[in-house]
Structure 1
Amino acid sequence: MRPADAPPPMLCACALVSRRGGPDGLAPVDFDLHAGQLLHVQGANGSGKTSLLRMLAGLLRPLRGAVHGQGGDIRRDPSSHFARTAYLGHGNGLCGELSALENLRYALHVAGTPQGDDAIAACLRAWRLGACLHTPAARLSQGQGRRLALAAVVLGGKPLWLLDEPDAGLDAASLDQLRQALDAHLAAGGAAVLASHRMPGAPAARTQTLNMDDYADAGYAVSVGAA
């Protein structure tokens, strides 16, 4: 039992059932995610990882159950949930005609966390995109586009990250950079849900694992307890 004076979880899945998998959906998922924790969602393609992240982001209504943020059910106050959440899906969300600098400027403005061009340029250099500052996004490689999208997540400074295959298209150096960004985010009191076939590389004490293959096939609820 959580002590009465303990801070509430940053994110909770409460008997959450996806709309995929037929009229009854799949087995319900329950978990609490606290500050400083990462939930690694793994499983085969089609096992429901993306549907889960979309429900957690408030972009997909569950068949049953609820997602709770620090203010309660996210459906009651979606704007508050969006204000503290950074969601990165399979797509990078870039405008091909805008430069790397312009894409970040626009993304941060929409997220409600605008930054000056100097801060944006510094972040792009940190993600090894300094040479692409004024390059249209349509001319970036797959890996460069993914790094640009990740730079927007990091620079936005949201406390909750929901990342769907963030390592797609990344080389070894970029994977290390992603791990470092996750470590820094968790150490600063943030939390993250990361769907990936790879292990995230975060410290084991900070990491929980949800196997969506079990969720899809076992026919029972999969609960992920707080560390």
Structure 2
Amino acid sequence: MDLSVTNLSCARGGLPVLEGVSFTLSPGKALLLRGPNGIGKTTLLRTLAGLQPALDGTVSVPAESIAYAAHADGLKATLTVTENLRFWARVFGTDGVQNALDAFNLNDLADRMAQNLSAGQKRRLGLARLLVTGRPIWVLDEPTVSLDVASVALFGDAVKAHLAGGGMALIATHIDLGFDAEVLDVTQFKAAPQRLDDFDEAFA
């Protein structure tokens, strides 16, 4: 079960940002997306996750196999750490709450409401949700924002365990996450500038 992307083109605000993106991600492998801010990494990830339509090309991936995590932590403020994980476990029909607490060093915070967590603790809890989705493909946009060095290491260990179990990870990041991964610089797929006669059509 691979994630296969062929000649994918995607847009932001009606304007093409990337075109001709092609790659294959296999079980047990991670792929890191690189490129300057604004190049289109987030747009690409959102397109792959099915949150916006592609302009062209194909994404071949089994249904309901992707877990997507971006800048928002997706937490229920008035639920505790454990209750948040149980909520998402029920949504996905899985378990693994204790494993998620262990993996992201959240046991001491298990009974604390999410609204009372620090930014880094919220991020750890947001990432811990990945472990209760049961989904094999993690699509992550700058997952280490707000994390200190120790927490980045916890995240790296969680990804390594996921890969060892046959999972896959596609991650937009600028930092070294501490595990082996291929790197794809999306700058090579930057869309050609719009012609002036296409300008009105882009906003139609």
**TM-score normalised by structure 2 residue count:** 0.86
1:40 and 1:194 map into 2 onto residues whose CA distance is 5
Residues 121, 35 of structure 1: CA spacing in aligned structure 2 closer, same or farther, 3 A cutoff? closer
1:163 Cα deviation from its structure 2 partner: 1.0
SS at match of 1:103: helix
Matching residue of 2:114: 137
Residues 24, 154 of structure 1: CA spacing in aligned structure 2 closer, same or farther, 3 A cutoff? closer
1:127 Cα deviation from its structure 2 partner: 1.6
For residue 41 of structure 2, the aligned residue among 49, 60, 70 is 49
Does 2:11 correspond to 1:19? yes
Residues 156-182 of structure 1 show CA distances to partners (whole Å, capped at 9, x for unaligned) of: 332111111111111111111111111
1:217 Cα deviation from its structure 2 partner: 6.9
1:88 and 1:95 map into 2 onto residues whose CA distance is 15
1:218 Cα deviation from its structure 2 partner: 8.1
1:110 and 1:46 map into 2 onto residues whose CA distance is 33
For residue 157 of structure 1, the aligned residue among 104, 112, 134 is 134
For residue 73 of structure 2, the aligned residue among 78, 92, 103 is 92
1:122 and 1:187 map into 2 onto residues whose CA distance is 15
Residues 217, 14 of structure 1: CA spacing in aligned structure 2 closer, same or farther, 3 A cutoff? closer
Matching residue of 2:105: 128
Does 2:185 correspond to 1:211? yes
Q: Is the 8 A contact 1:20 1:26 kept in 2?
A: no
Matching residue of 2:61: 69
Q: Percent sequence identity over matched residues?
A: 40
Matching residue of 1:104: 85
| Worse-matched range after superposition: 21-30 or 191-200 | 21-30
Matching residue of 1:75: none
Q: Is the 8 A contact 1:14 1:29 kept in 2?
A: yes
2:121 and 2:106 map into 1 onto residues whose CA distance is 7
Q: Is the 8 A contact 2:17 2:191 kept in 1?
A: no
Matching residue of 2:165: 188
1:126 and 1:208 map into 2 onto residues whose CA distance is 24
Aligned CA-pair RMSD? 2.0
Matched positions, count: 193
Matching residue of 1:170: 147
SS at match of 1:91: coil
SS at match of 2:28: coil
For structure 2, which runs of at least 5 residues remain unmatched after alignment?
194-204
| Worse-matched range after superposition: 33-42 or 208-217 | 208-217
Q: Is the 8 A contact 1:25 1:63 kept in 2?
A: no
